[in-house]
A and B are shown apart, each in its own frame.
Chain A
């Protein structure tokens, strides 16, 4: 069975441009998370989707960041007017049910974003 996939695997962009990062979770997983991992840093939570509920956006660092999840499956993370400090690996994870019940997260390979 397919795991979590993310695209593109690498993205180089110029400061000020918008970028879209895509995540395809494992089929049937209701929960989807986006994280950011900077060099030498831990995973920083960005946003969480659970079923049809309103997403938890509490981790988004600024209003330049937004995310959508269409049809309870594919998710897109959009960064507008990118800045150099946005350079990082963006990881997506999905789980069968809510993590509070002790479910395992399955991570994708990440998108490496470099803002020049």
Chain B
């Protein structure tokens, strides 16, 4: 069955460092992959989308890579700030219109 894995353990990093979050998937051929941010008590907020034929996407301090051979996406936040502390979700969508979400990884940036 299709499976999306995100590290369930919280990632703790120091302010100013680069945070790297991982999204692995199996039994899936996604057409694109999205990353969302979710704060406690709020709905997810879209951050970036990367398509299967793209290797890398950037937006300000964010960078996403997509390796369809490794079946993995990496999400990087450079020069991290305490305000970046949140849960980050990856979501994959194939030929259907229904994205499958991972459980998310909590990021904690310490000042």
Chain A interface residues toward B at CB < 8 A: 4, 31, 33, 35, 40-43, 45, 48, 50, 56, 59, 91, 93, 98-100, 102, 104-110
Contacts and interface: CB of A to CB of B under 8 A. Distances in A.
A42 B49 contact: no
B103 A40 contact: yes
Contact of A42 (B46, B96, B101): B101
B89 A100 contact: no
Given A41-B103, A56-B98, A99-B98, A110 B93 contact: no
Given A48-B98, A99-B99, A106 B93 contact: no
B93 A107 contact: no
Given A42-B4, A50-B97, A109 B103 contact: no
Contacts of B51: 102
Given A43-B44, A43-B101, A102 B96 contact: no
Contacts of A56: 98
B97 A107 contact: no
Interface residues of B, number: 25
Nearest to A92: B43
Contacts of B4: 42
Contacts of B44: 43, 91, 105, 107
Contact of A100 (B41, B91, B97, B103): B97
Contacts of B31: 100, 102
Given A35-B101, A104-B34, A110-B42, 17 more contacts: A33-B98, A42-B4, A42-B103, A42-B104, A45-B99, A45-B100, A48-B98, A59-B98, A91-B43, A93-B43, A98-B97, A99-B97, A99-B99, A100-B93, A100-B96, A102-B32, A105-B46
A104 B96 CA distance: 15
